[in-house]
Structure 1
Amino acid sequence: MSSYLIEGQAGNPVFVFAHGAGAGMDHAFMQAVATGLVDKGIQVVRFNFPYMVKRAEDGKKRPPDRAPKLLEAFQAVIQDVAKGQPVVIGGKSMGGRMASLLADDALVAGVACLGFPFHPPGKPENYKGDHLAKLSKPCLILQGERDTFGKREEFSEFALAESVTTTFIPDGDHSFKPRKVSGHTELGNIARAVDVLAAFIFEVYFDAK
């Protein structure tokens, strides 16, 4: 069982928030988004995938577990915290992709992906979003306009289901950070992402009740 952290008031809509490949649930980006959502009345559950639990224990960096193990850990957290009620799930990069692969779970009301890794940087031929064309549950993709894992101008080539909506973060990279010359700020972009994400969570959560 993966370790996890629950913030926010019990009884509020629940968002299960998975980390990306290189940093765990306590990364600054994860903390900033979680804090913003809690302030808006959402209960946020963060957890570490098994390989990150081991890293926390021994300090040794290791690659992510293979998808079946990641999905098993994610589902265990959903089962534990949902208590039979619908939850919204999502994550940063890899965590968001894993969430999108669990969209058909009966306890999942919707999915939110923060920086979806459509392909490795510079390798558009290695596309990892085929399943997004078939999603039936509501799915929000928050994507930096300059994200090298899938830039705004590439989206015309991506096949996405009608249930998938995309909001682009101005001049943002994979973590929504803009260039100084853009006039946008990292704090402002994260706040913008939190606003859109919170509205999505409330909408799909209460639609599923």
Structure 2
Amino acid sequence: MSPTEEINTPHGPAGVDLDRPVGSPSALLVLGHGAGGGVDAPDLLALRDAALAAGLVVARVTQPYRLAGRRAPAPARQLDAAWAAVLSVLRARCPKVPLVVGGRSSGARVACRTADAVGAAGVVALAFPLHPPGRPERSRAAELPASVPTVVVNGDRDPFGIPAAAVSTVRVVTRPGERHELRKDPLGTAAVVLDWLRAGGWTRPPDRWLRRAASSDRTDEA
């Protein structure tokens, strides 16, 4: 599927699929894909739908190498530079709301590495690949930002490992029965992230009111 639009970067055009909520947005959520995958991964789509319903603008970014049809990822410095270039354009379009960045696997790593540089208020890391399978000595834990609130959602059967919440800004949620693809329960994964977005104040206030009302109704029926 072709992206909604293309944005030029130092390493070629990147693709952007942009979805806007009804009414004024509460935040901008920008998501990246895995190394050999795309922005239509089940967990990314579920998160897009949940975030849209909660009032966020959601942009899913296809890196230039994937838009060009290549599966092998570009070097990290190229991924980061292309990501930052896209974010600069998107940020100019939504200047008055907080920026939350994220993605799955390789996209999560890019979002984590660049969070400070792009001025992100928060980071969503789905299936953060702590290390290559079978190589725990090659840890990427240092890529998790220490100064930006971050939620990490990994499956308990992920062969790429599960990060530890080494600093107070990082929250790690382990999803039972899930592997790296997070395909078993994408709606549940999205719900975890939505709760974190809500706690950070990045959802639209009526979203809170509706949930409280629904909870009250269930209590009354009990």
* Structure-2-length-normalised TM-score: 0.76
Structure 1 residue aligned with 2:143, among 118, 131, 135? 131
**3-state SS of paired residue (2:200):** helix
What aligned pairs does 1:187-206 form with structure 2 within 5 A after superposition?
A: 189-204=185-200, 206=202
Q: Decide which moves more: 193-202 or 141-150.
A: 193-202
CA distance in 2, matches of 1:117, 1:17: 16
Deviation string 1:172-204 (CA, Å, 9 cap, x unpaired) is 101224xxxxxxxx2xx2112111212222443
Aligned CA-pair RMSD: 2.1
Question: Does the aligned pair in 2 maintain the 1:15–1:201 contact within 8 Å?
Answer: no
Identity of aligned residues (%): 30
Matched, 1:30 2:44: yes
Q: What is residue 20 of structure 1 aligned with on the other side? A: 34
Deviation string 1:142-163 (CA, Å, 9 cap, x unpaired) is 0111111114xxx5xx472210
CA distance in 2, matches of 1:32, 1:168: 17
CA distance in 2, matches of 1:163, 1:80: 27
Deviation string 1:14-59 (CA, Å, 9 cap, x unpaired) is 110000001122334432332232233322100111101101xxxx
The number of residues matched between the two structures is 186
CA distance in 2, matches of 1:136, 1:130: 12
CA distance in 1, matches of 2:176, 2:32: 23
Task: Quote the offset at 1:91 in angstroms.
Answer: 0.4
Q: Which of these two proteins has the greater Rg computed from alpha carbons?
A: 2
CA shift in 2, pair 1:64/1:143, >3 Å: same
CA distance in 1, matches of 2:38, 2:90: 19
CA shift in 2, pair 1:24/1:206, >3 Å: closer
Question: Does the aligned pair in 2 maintain the 1:42–1:198 contact within 8 Å?
Answer: no
CA distance in 2, matches of 1:44, 1:38: 7
Structure 1 residue aligned with 2:55, among 25, 32, 41? 41
Task: Quote the offset at 1:139 in angstroms.
Answer: 0.5
